[in-house]
Amino acid sequence: MMYFHFILLLITINNLNLMLQISAPKAKQIEKKLEIHNHKRIDNYYWLNEKENPEVIKYLNQENDFCNSIMGDTKELQDNLFDEMKGRIKQNDSSVPFKDNGYFYYNRFEEGKEYAFNCRKKENLESNEEVLFDQNKMAEGSSYFSLGGYSVSPNNKIVGFGVDIVSRRQYNLRFKNIETNELYAEIIPNTDGSCVWANDNKTVFYTLKDETLREYKIMRHILGNDISKDEVIYEEKDDTFYAHCYKSKSDKFIIIASTSTMSDEYRILSADKPEGECKVFAPRTRGIEYSIYHFENKFYIRTNWNAQNFKLMECPIDKTERENWKDVIAHREDVLIEGIELFKDFMVLEERRNGITDLRIINNKTKEDYKIDFEENVYHVGISVNREYETNTLRFYYTSMTTPTSTFDFDMINKLRILLKQQEVLGGFDKSNYKSERVFATASDGTKIPISLVYYKTTKLDGSAPLLEYGYGSYGISMDVGFSSEALSLLNRGFVYAIAHIRGGEDMGRAWYENGKLLKKKNTFTDFIECGNYLVKEKYTSKDRIFARGGSAGGLLMGAVANMAGTNYKGMIAVVPFVDVITTMLDESIPLTTGEYDEWGNPNDKIFYHYMLSYSPIDNVEKKEYPNILVMTGLHDSQVQYYEPAKWVAKLREYKTDKNLLLFNCNMDAGHGGSSGRFRRLHETALQYAFMFKLVGILK
């Protein structure tokens, strides 16, 4: 009998420990009054933006401990998922080499290494390998590491590169002698991580960031000089614009771009005369976007000037003002021109029709044109790295939800393609085991919204399958289909994976974007909800087995949908979510605020304020039931500050009336993109998958 009571006592103690262990954190409340347009808001968790406050760090750690505690019973599952996803990656691997200025450049990975080796070979692939960077060695001692876009001098002897070990996207720019591996003395802080070489092999141009991390100054630096002597050659003073620079494919021009959501302005400078003055290509005009491409004695211009879906124009090299632009390819209502690649004898256009990308080849002499045909109905194709000008070979990439990313060389004369490399998926992957399709939901205003689906061929579509619906829907960024070896861990367990091509992206053309921004932003959210409703109605899943996922602006989507129709979903995963829309967009000191007024609206304007207020996730949290929610962020996020999701979670804990899971994971060593390295990030994916599996009873 005493033994029995002893066992009961142990059970009671264990249960008490478990209750203590899984008690949800409660952030303290300190009232902060926010007022504008005679409207008051109360933010009780405003104090969480004090990053240096030990109490903030303590709270974030408490949330991490709570998440780990609740998900503790999935630890073995997460480890297995990590091993499973890692096991599909070919560890000794390399990219397809591309030729540039007499060298073949490529990246390769070695077994067990997180980061790449950046390499090159002179003239042919049988030459000795030169390792430009061993990123693994460079990353030693840092919990995060990112190599910026490196750039080699025209004489192939010096390389400029950026390094970020904090994950704030503020790079220190360095220079290295490739032949001796010696670093130059100068270290240029707070850059975007890249540089552009003039043709004299000593002058470089780079971009500085301001206190909001906006790229705003283009600097000229002479290699070996003290950086205090660097000259400002352009400063972007309009805080709704961003500045950057690059070199034309012809290597004739240094090009300085000033870009905003609704207009662009370019300046050009001879790469042979880096000490010269920049010339404005065409002055900025609100509502007119354009990009430029040098070709022999003229420039091509891709622009939306009287062309919503963009058209292609040209102008003489010495008469670049807009009155000198002439149509080359007229505007088409059903085709969006997304990109252009120039060769001596051919022009290649990236075009989008009915949500699918195409490559269109045009002979510069005969003007004959054709498209490259593909067998699948739902796919994505795009132009790859093509640095050579005098060639008839186009390099492009191709992928679908069942076809691993493939790199091709295409003979533009004979129309023959050669597969150079297809992503190798280990572990017995067979694409014939999976099915992909595209269906259409009907939005509340009657618009047909595409949904791309993939699932295992034997998965029953009778409502019994769990389903993950992914969405983004902002900035005109199209959510094109693509292969994911990580997603196989879902599909192989009976999940259906769906991409909702909602408005706010450019999936169906420019109008798709225009109808999902500013005062039409709610279309993004209602589109996503109707896609979910359609998937349930058509029995791809059921209401108690459907999940939603989105990140960044897609995290805003998750927050808005959670308020509008959260109980339609079993669970939601919001990654680095932009959920405190009003407060953030009223704070001009925060990165990405002023430059995004044309995306979300400027809440200093009363009309935009009240519209944004009507959907801002944190401002619309109510006392009601919410779905199971997993929120993930990074302490050093430079795009969506960590305190937005932290405040949202705290307010949800205060208001929600259900007993569903609300978990918050803050990576204390990372920023917007999560962990660095090709393997470590898989731990974050494993957590997300385990969260869903736990809720639908998948144990392994």
* 514 vs 503: CA distance, rounded Å: 8
From the list 403, 386, 398, the residue with the least C-alpha distance to 359 is 398
Task: Give CA–CA dist 627/25, Å, rounded.
Answer: 18
Q: Which helix (H) or strand (E) holds 34?
A: strand 33-36
In this structure, how many other beta carbons lie within 10 angstroms of the beta carbon of residue 284?
Answer: 19
Q: What span, in angstroms and rounded, lies between the C-alpha atoms of 448 and 427?
A: 38
Least Cα distance to 612 among 541, 671, 560, 561 occurs for: 560
- Is 39 designated active site? no
Three-state DSSP state, 488: helix
Q: What would the two tokens of residue 597 be?
A: 């007024």
Residues 313 and 412: their CA atoms lie apart, in Å, by 23
Distance CA 454, CA 459 (A): 10
**Residue 113's closest CA among 132, 134, 87?**
134
Reduced to 3 states, what is the DSSP secondary structure of residue 121?
strand
Whole-angstrom distance, CA of residue 371 vs CA of residue 330: 17
* Residue written as token pair 């990074």: 634
415: helix, coil or strand? Answer: coil
Whether the Cβ atoms of residue 90 and residue 426 lie closer than 8 Å to each other: yes
Structure tokens at 583: 């407060």
Radius of gyration of the chain (CA): 26
Query: CA-CA distance, 75 to 61, in Å (whole number)?
Result: 18
Catalytic: 369?
A: no
Q: Are 45 and 642 in contact (CB under 8 A)?
A: no
Active-site option among 552, 616, 675, 676: 552
Structure tokens at 617: 């996730």
Query: Strand pairing partners for 399?
Result: 380
**Structure tokens, 78:** 């997460």
Catalytic position from the list 244, 380, 501, 672: 672
Question: Can you tell me the distance from the alpha carbon of 395 to that of 410, in angstroms, rounded to the nearest whole number?
Answer: 6
**Number of Cβ atoms within 10 Å of the Cβ of 658:** 13
- Type of residue at 143: S
The CA distance from 146 to 675, in Å, is 10
Q: Which pair of structure tokens corresponds to residue 420?
A: 């150079």
Query: Which among 637, 638, 675, 676 is annotated as catalytic?
Result: 637
The token pair that represents 699 in the structure block? 């144990």
Structural tokens at position 589: 């000191």
Q: Which residues contact 63 (CB under 8 A, 6 or more apart)?
A: 25, 646, 649, 664, 665, 666
- Cα separation, 372 vs 355, whole angstroms: 16
CA 583: distance to chain centroid? 23
Annotated active-site residue 672? The verdict is yes
Spatial separation of the C-alpha atoms in residues 67 and 668, rounded to whole Å: 14
- The whole-angstrom separation of Cα 596 and Cα 213 is 13
Q: Within 13 Å and on the Cβ side, how many CA atoms surround 567?
A: 7
For 428, residues 6+ apart whose C-beta sits below 8 A from its C-beta are: none
CA angle at 635 for the pair 630 and 641, rounded to the nearest 5°: 85
What is the set of active-site residues?
A: 552, 637, 672
